Amino acid sequence: MDLLKYVQDKYIAKKEFPEFKAGDTITVYTEIREGNKTRTQFFKGTVIQVRGTGATKMFTIRKMSGDVGVERVFPINMPALQKIEVDRRGKVRRARIFYFRDLRGKKARIKDVPFKKK
């Protein structure tokens, strides 16, 4: 296990991202390549889970696009990941809020926790 940690620390480039957890609303900016052009696309939604540690950390974001729920899983060390902004901190009592998938309308609201935006 120490060998794995050593290789991750030595060879995988670290990016600095803000701390976030389940229930937070974040915006993720990714670089999209189409042919020889590149553009930045953002995905704004609620974090429903954060799993793993260190370089293998992954997080899942859910947003509503019309009536359809869209979920996307991002590895924290994905090369196309440009930046992450925490828009709102949410107060939830679980680390993985899969029950959030079944909620609609007013029941799908998450209480805010005040915080300072950098």
Q: Domain containing 50 — which CATH number?
A: 2.30.30.790
Identify the band that residue 60 occupies on the pLDDT scale cut at 50, 70 and 90: very high
Alpha-carbon distance 15 to 82, whole Å? 9
* pLDDT level of residue 8 (50, 70, 90 thresholds): confident
Number of H helices, E strands in the chain: 1, 6
The total number of structural domains in the chain stands at 1
Q: Is residue 115 part of a domain?
A: no
Please indicate, yes or no, if residue 40 is contained in any of the structural domains: yes
- The structure tokens listed for 34 are 């189409």
In a domain, 110, yes or no: no
Q: Which domain holds residue 71?
A: 2-104
Query: Which tokens is 43 given?
Result: 């995905």
Confidence of residue 43 (pLDDT cuts 50, 70, 90): very high
Which residue type occupies 8? Q
Whether residue 47 lies inside any domain: the answer is yes
Quick one: tokens of 65?
Answer: 């696009």
Q: What is the pTM of this model?
A: 0.83
Residues forming beta bridges with residue 32, ordered by sequence position: 39
Report yes or no on 67 lying in a domain. yes
Residue 1 is predicted with a pLDDT of 64
Distance CA 51, CA 49 (A): 6
